[in-house]
Each structure stands twice: as C-alpha cells, then as structure tokens.
C-alpha cells in the first residue's frame, strides 16, 4: 500500500496538519527539531500501531493536550483504505475504514519499514531492541507469529504473577507449570519463525553490506537463545521445555521467567566477529542499514509488495560512495518517505518535497513537486 495523505491532530508538535504524499519519492525537508521524524513516527503508527521510538502513547500527545489523532489514507491497486489511530488518556482506538479494529488487524495491512539513526541500537543497544526488530518485522509478514506472540506475552505475565506469589508463599512452585505448556508451544513457534527469518535474510544482509561498504565480508545473523540451542529442526519445543525445567528453581528465586523468546537475542557477525564489539562505527551503521534493506526485500518477497520505506536522516552520516551505493540499493523500492535538512540535488526527479517548519507544512499543505509519477 502507498500512503496518500496523513492528518495529524495534537500529535507531537503538530496541532492540525495534513500532508499529501507522492507515489514514489517524498522528502520531508526541514531544519532540526521541526517535526520531520514526528511525521515518520505517525506513518509508522498507522502501519504497526505504535511509534518506532516511543513506547508511551502519552508522550506522543502534543504538550498541554489530552489526545492525539492520526488519520491516514492509503491506496493499493485502486483500492482506498483509511486508518485512524486515536489516543486519549483512557485508551487507544484503531479504526480501519471506519470500523473499530484490533492491533492485530492493523499490523501487516500497510507494511512499513523504518530506518533511523536510532537503529544503531540494533547493534549497540540492549537485546530488547533486537527482539523488537524481529517481532515487528516478522509480525508484518506472518499473522500467525503475531498471534503466537500475543499468546506468549499473556501467558508470560500470568506465569510471572504466579512466580511472585510463590515467593510470598501463597502458591506452590509446581503450580507455575500450568503456564509452561502455552509458553512452550507459542514460544517454540516464535523462536522457529525468528530462526527462519534470520536464515532468509542472511544472504541479503551480506550482499547489502557488500554493496554499501564496497567490501566483501562474510555476514552471519546468529540467533542467541538463552539456556537452550534451537536448530530450527522441529525440536525447539522439547529444548524449551527442558530449559524451563532446568531453570525452575532459579525462576522461583528471581520471581520471573528466565527462559524463552522474551530473553533471547541475535547478533550480527561480520567475518565471524560480533560487529557490536569489533565493528567500527561505520561498519555498525552499514550493518543496520543492510539489515533494514533486507527487511524491505523480505517483505516484498513474502507479501508481493514493497512496504512503505521510511528513511530518517539516513544519508546524513554516509560518505559519497556509500550514499551512491545506498541510493542504487533502494532504487527499486516503491514508496519512500525520507527526511533531510538539505534539499535533494537538482537532478533528483520523481520527487515530492514537503517543507516542515515548527510543526507546520510550509505553503499550507500543498507540496511542491518536481516531476511526479507513479
Ligand atoms: N508531545 C509533544 N508535544 C509537542 N511537541 C513535541 C512533543 N514531542 C516532541 N515535540 C517536539 O518535536 C520537535 C522534534 O521533532 P522531530 O520530528 O524529532 O524533529 P526533526 O525535524 O529534527 O526530525 C521538538 O521541538 C520537540 O520539542
Ligand atoms: Mg529527526
């Protein structure tokens, strides 16, 4: 799907603005802190139900206001879809074509991939960043994954509650096992899907890394299961069960669950070394870009359509050679919305430029165009 327009009401520094997008290349142009990333954040919200950089919806509400609303209009081979996400202090509502919907109806409908400077956390940050990457990427392509994830998260919360109750002597330790069955079945489905995804995108990440950096380097994506070693060969459930058994006492002592996809991680290895420890800053940036571009390709392969690609300041830190390589790499993508503080070079055609100043679209919402085509 392509995004045609978005209306932001009390969202971040936008009071009430509507932005219209071109079918192909869109440049959100503006100085620092004007609201460019906020727009990408809103599109991401319409795609997966949440911001890519803020997990508390309350922080997305314009200062001093009580609610936000983001309305998007999308198009896919002539069919229009509207998505509306509203949040007030009470709750968040999603409407698809006016109909009240669940987050699971939303995720995967549009398809979005975002790449931003914060992506460096996919290398440098905590495992939670990498799990979130996997969860959002796979959920958009695989509805069953999302369902397993929801089951898993619910069962995990229940089990943790019981583990706390065991600590305070209200429940016997053996009772926590009632949740293990769900945790194992949903957990194994999650782990297997992650293994498959990493295996699928591996070659693409390696080739992207080579294209962007201009160097041939062997890249591996290594899933790091904590406390067990899944091989993606159908034995994951047994391995998880055994690991849970083995950790039961420790889980009781700690008061929370210690084994499963909610603690697992993955690593990006370049030449068999973890890029987190041994990669230069440049290699790390290249690594996460290669990962994001592979996510785009995977989505295109799985769903038959490119996602909307949101590129936040990605060219700012790249040298000329890498800029050229990345430009070539993304040239096949369908719709792109990118941000920059510098105008595109004059030869860039097929581009719509939208200037953002202090939470407003310059020129009152009608974007300047230079040769717009589908
Ligand atoms: N909840 C909010 N309400 C009002 N303004 C906000 C809110 N959250 C962030 N901002 C403002 O948004 C601006 C940053 O927007 P951002 O999109 O990150 O800028 P950039 O154009 O550099 O990408 C800052 O001025 C910040 O104060
Ligand atoms: Mg920004």
Q: What are the structural domain ranges in the chain? A: 1-111+307-374, 119-305
Across the range 312-339, mean pLDDT stands at 93
Mean pLDDT within 176-198: 95
Is residue 186 exposed (0-12), middle (13-18) or buried (19+ Cβ within 10 Å)?
buried
44-71: per-residue pLDDT in tens? 999 999 999 999 999 999 999 999 999 9
pLDDT at 374: 38
Confidence at 367, pLDDT banded by 50, 70, 90: very low
Gap from CA of 55 to ligand 1 centroid (Å): 15
**Residue 116, ligand 1, Cβ within 6 A:** no
Bigger pLDDT: 174 or 207?
207
Distance CA 272, CA 350 (A): 41
For domain 1-111+307-374, the question of CATH label 3.40.50.300 is answered with yes
Name the helix (H) or strand (E) containing 210: helix 180-213
> Does residue 307's CB lie within 6 angstroms of at least one atom of ligand 1?
no
The DSSP letter of residue 234 is S
- For tokens 């206001």, the residue is 65
> Residue 314: what pLDDT?
93
Ligand 1 atom closest to Cα of 312?
23
CA 192 – CA 195 distance, rounded (Å): 5
Question: Model confidence over 245-266: pLDDT tens digits?
Answer: 999 999 999 999 999 999 999 9
pLDDT of residue 318: 87
Query: Alpha-carbon Rg of the chain, whole angstroms?
Result: 22
What's the pLDDT tens digit per position in 270-308? 998 999 999 999 999 999 999 999 999 999 999 999 999
User: Which residues have their alpha-adjacent CB atom under 5 A from ion ligand 2?
Assistant: 37
User: Domain spanning 119-305: which CATH class is it, in words?
Assistant: mainly alpha
Q: Which of 15, 16, 35, 60 to mutate to test the pocket of ligand 1 (most atoms within 8 A of CB)?
A: 35
Q: For ligand 1, is residue 32 a contact (CB within 6 Å)?
A: yes
Which one of 164-168, 231-235, 328-332 scores highest in mean pLDDT?
328-332
pLDDT of the residue at 176: 87
Other beta carbons within 10 angstroms of residue 224's beta carbon come to 13
Note the pLDDT of residue 257: 94
- Express as a percent the part of the chain with pLDDT over 70: 96
Average pLDDT, the chain: 93
Q: What's the first-to-final CA gap in the chain, in angstroms? A: 13
Q: Do domains 1-111+307-374 and 119-305 have the same CATH topology?
A: no
How many angstroms separate the CA atoms of 75 and 226, rounded?
42
Q: pLDDT at residue 335 above 50?
A: yes
pLDDT digits (tens, 9 = 90+) for 189-239: 999 999 999 999 999 999 999 999 999 999 999 999 999 999 878 899 999
Residues 6+ apart with CB under 8 A from 184: 237, 240, 241, 244
Distance CA(341)–CA(343), nearest Å, equals 7
Tell me the Ramachandran region of residue 68: left when phi exceeds 0, alpha when psi lies from -120 to 50, beta otherwise.
Answer: beta
pTM over 0.75: yes
């Amino acid at each position: 799907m392509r995004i045609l327009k978005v209306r932001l009401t009390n969202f971040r520094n936008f009071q009430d603005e509507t932005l219209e997008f071109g079918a192909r290349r869109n440049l959100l142009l503006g100085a620092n802190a004007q609201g460019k990333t906020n727009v990408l954040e809103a599109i991401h919200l319409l795609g997966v139900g949440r911001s890519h950089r803020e997990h508390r919806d309350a922080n997305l509400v314009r200062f001093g206001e009580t609610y936000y609303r983001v309305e998007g209009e999308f198009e896919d081979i002539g069919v229009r879809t509207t998505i509306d996400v509203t949040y007030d202090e009470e709750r968040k509502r999603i409407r698809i074509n006016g109909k009240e919907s669940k987050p699971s109806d939303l995720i995967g409908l549009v398809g979005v991939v975002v790449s931003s400077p914060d992506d460096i956390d996919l290398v440098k940050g905590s495992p939670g960043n990498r799990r979130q990457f996997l969860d959002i990427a796979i959920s958009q392509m695989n509805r069953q994954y999302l369902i397993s994830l929801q089951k898993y998260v619910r069962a995990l919360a229940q089990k943790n509650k019981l583990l706390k109750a065991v600590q305070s002597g209200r429940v016997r330790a053996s009772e926590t096992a009632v949740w293990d069955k769900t945790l194992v079945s949903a957990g194994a489905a999650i782990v297997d899907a992650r293994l498959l995804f990493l295996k699928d995108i591996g070659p693409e990440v390696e080739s992207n890394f080579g294209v962007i950096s201009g160097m041939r380097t062997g890249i591996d994506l290594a899933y790091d299961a904590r406390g067990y070693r899944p091989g993606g060969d159908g034995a994951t459930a047994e391995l998880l069960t055994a690991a849970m058994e083995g950790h039961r006492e420790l889980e009781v002592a700690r008061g929370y669950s210690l084994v499963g996809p909610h603690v697992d991680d993955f690593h990006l290895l370049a030449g068999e070394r973890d890029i987190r420890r041994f990669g230069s800053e440049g290699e790390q940036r290249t690594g996460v870009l290669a990962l994001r571009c592979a996510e785009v390709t995977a989505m295109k392969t799985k769903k038959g359509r490119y996602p909307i690609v949101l590129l936040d300041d990605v060219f700012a830190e790249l040298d000329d050679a890498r800029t050229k390589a990345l430009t070539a790499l993304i040239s096949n993508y369908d719709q792109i919305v990118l941000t920059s503080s510098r105008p595109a070079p004059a030869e860039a055609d097929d581009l719509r430029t939208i200037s953002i100043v202090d939470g407003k679209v310059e020129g009152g919402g009608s974007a300047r165009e230079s040769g717009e085509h589908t």
